[in-house]
Amino acid sequence: MTQEDNASQQMFVGEPPAWALRRPKGLAQAVYDVLGAPLRMVLLPDHVNERLHLTSLRAERLSMVLPRLEGRVLDIGAGDNMLVKLHRRRQGPEAADSVGLDVVDWGGGCTIVPDCKSLPFPDGSFDTVTFVACLNHIPERREALAEAYRVLRPGGKVVITMIGRFIGKVGHMLWWYSEDKHRDVDEHEEMGMNPGEIESLLKTAGFGRLVRHSFVYDMNHMFVAQKPE
Ligand SMILES: C[S@@+](CC[C@H](N)C(=O)[O-])C[C@H]1O[C@@H](n2cnc3c(N)ncnc32)[C@H](O)[C@@H]1O
């Protein structure tokens, strides 16, 4: 079995249910999610949590990022391409040309590239570029952000989600089901990055108007920044 065969079998687990993406959460769901935190945050993979009506971590990320997306989206490190599929469905024709991109084929129809040093898209061709739970896994992250800047139109947004180094290191030791267990891991990957590191990378790449939002009990962060007009 090749790395890709193995990858698509493990990761392609279908869509999160609509209730898991609805915000704000109802009180009963919020309380149930707190009680089930050890299951949904450590012990069980996303699709199993969703079967138990616990909000999965992927649903937490998707529900944060989806409302920030505008127009044509490039999702880098897209995994099974779920963000792009949901965005297309929500926004219709203006989102139709959105693209998911990855270095591994997880079976979701992404554009597959060897790395993110040079992306196969013209300057200014996207309205939003996203890096959801992946910038730490991209060894060439500086070049990837420079490319995100290049392919964004002036005024376009970059959206990043990231867990911190400590939680990420402990988490990746415990998450027996995570995608890095099903592919080769580069020695320059990190298991998480602290907010200051992400903010510094964004500034170095030229982005401005940086805003940070915390979610999942302050353990995860979303960064939204803009390419100047
Ligand atoms: C934790 S997963 C996140 C997947 C998806 N964005 C999500 O939120 O479910 C990290 C992703 O980064 C991808 N990845 C690893 N190295 C990469 C690289 N150099 N360039 C782009 N993507 C990369 C992996 O293949 C994987 O799909």
| Ligand 1 atom with least separation from CA of 106 | 27
Give the chain's mean pLDDT. Answer: 95
Distance 136 CA to ligand 1 centre (A): 9
CA 224–ligand 1 middle distance (angstroms) = 19
Nearest CA to ligand 1 atom 22: 77
Ligand 1 pocket residues where CB is under 6 Å: 58, 61, 76-79, 102-104, 106, 115-116, 132-134, 137-138, 179
What's the 179 CA to ligand 1 centre distance in angstroms? 8
Q: How far is CA 18 from CA 23, 58, 62, 63, 94, in A?
A: 10, 13, 11, 10, 22
Both tokens assigned to 60: 């937490």
For residues 50 and 62, give the distance between their C-alpha atoms in angstroms, rounded to a whole number: 14
Residue whose CA is at the smallest distance from ligand 1 atom 19: 138
Task: Compute CA distances 50 → 34, 63, 169, 218, whole Å.
Answer: 14, 14, 24, 21
> How far does residue 76's CA lie from ligand 1's centre (Å)?
7
* Probe target for ligand 1 pocket from 57, 62, 106, 137, with the most ligand atoms within 8 Å of CB: 137
Q: Which fold has domain 3-226?
A: Rossmann fold (3.40.50)
Structure confidence at residue 13 as a pLDDT band (50, 70, 90)? confident
Question: Ligand 1 mean position to 211 CA, how many Å?
Answer: 23
pTM for the predicted model, two decimal places: 0.95
Please, are residues 138 and 193 in contact by the beta-carbon 8 Å criterion?
Answer: no
Q: Given this model, what pLDDT does residue 3 score?
A: 47
Which tens digits make up the pLDDT trace of 32-90?
999 999 999 999 999 999 999 999 999 999 999 999 999 999 999 999 999 999 999 99
**Ligand 1 centroid – CA 23 distance (Å):** 25
Looking at ligand 1, which residue's alpha carbon is closest to its atom 10?
Answer: 134
Helices 141-151, 195-205: crossing angle, 10 deg rounding: 50
Label residue 104 by pLDDT band (50, 70, 90): very high
Neighbouring CB atoms inside 10 A of 228's CB total 10
Q: What whole-number distance in Å separates Cα of residue 77 and Cα of residue 81?
A: 9
State the Cα–Cα distance between residues 109 and 67, nearest whole angstrom. 22
